[in-house]
Amino acid sequence: MPDKLEITNNIRTLRFFAHEMTQQELAEKAGVSRQTIIAVEAGKYSPSLELAFRIADAFGVPITEVFSYTK
Amino acid sequence: MSYQEKRTLMSIITSVLLMVSYSIYAFGKAGMEHINDLQFWAKTILIFIGIGIVVLIILQIVFHILMAISKAIRAKLSENEVDEEEIGRSMRVETTEDEMDKIIEMKSNKFGYTIMGLGFMAGLIAIAFGASAVAMLNILFFSTWTGSLIEALMQIRYYRKGIQ
């Protein structure tokens, strides 16, 4: 089995640069609960590809600017 | 604590209280008088399941109302005005069931089903060793309850620790 990838995200930084967008606002834009945004931001939950794209879309940036991984 | 965690915690407390009241009733005087009356036990279990469902639905509604009220009070205290639309939007964001909830539900269901399955096996073994049908019925009921309790506890654990 291949080694697990460590997925990190820049959601907190992107929220800051998006005029301090709140987690609730991001949750609304991505169509999920605030709890899910909190979990994704804290690295406790790796979102589906669809949600990852929706989060990136909420910031208007490519997905690679939101999520990155290390081997 | 998130909405989902509070809701799960509420269902745990409800089911524990119901099981305690079932145990007091069924293993008290009433149960001892009908120790081999399968019909009595089936009726008792059905009644308690019914009560459980009704109580849970009522509590969910009350919980939802209380949550909206607490949001309104908080808004009033911090901004001195209550924006109903904002509260509605905030409630929707808190209570939305999304992909993470579904994954957590699936993962914790696994534990619940395993315990229910083990309970079914325990019931069959009890019958095989000469226990009564009443004993099997109670083993099945308790294992179903334990399964759903573990399921709820696992849900809270996943919400707290996260899922990778």
A34 and chain B in contact, CB less than 8 A: yes
Question: Given an 8 Å threshold on Cβ–Cβ distance, is B93 in contact with A36?
Answer: no
Residue A70 phi/psi, 5-degree rounding, is: -125, 145
Q: pLDDT per residue over A17-61, tens digit each?
A: 988 999 989 999 999 999 999 999 998 999 999 999 999 999 999
Report pLDDT for A4: 76
Q: What is the pTM of this model?
A: 0.83
- Per domain, the residue ranges of chain A are 10-60
pLDDT at B33: 81
How many residues make up chain A in this entry? Answer: 71
- Is B56's pLDDT higher than 80? yes
Would the CB atoms of B164 and A35 count as touching at under 8 Å? no
ipTM of the complex: 0.84
- Exposed/middle/buried for residue B107 (C-beta within 10 Å: 0-12, 13-18, 19+): middle
Beta bridge partners of B50: none
Which chain A residue lies closest to B157 (C-alpha atoms)?
A44
- The answer to whether the Cβ–Cβ distance between A33 and B96 falls below 8 Å is yes
SS3 (DSSP) at A70: strand
- Residue A42 is which amino acid? A
Domain boundaries, given as residue ranges, for chain B: 3-161
Check if A18 contacts B (Cβ < 8 Å). Answer: no
Please return the burial class of B10, using the count of CB atoms within 10 Å of its CB with bins 0-12, 13-18 and 19+.
middle
Q: Which residue bears the tokens 């600017």?
A: A65
Match domain A10-60 to its CATH number in 3.90.25.10, 1.10.260.40, 1.10.10.60, 3.40.50.1950: 1.10.260.40
B45 closest CA partner among B18, B11, B14: B18
Query: Which SS3 state, helix, strand or coil, does residue B37 take?
Result: coil
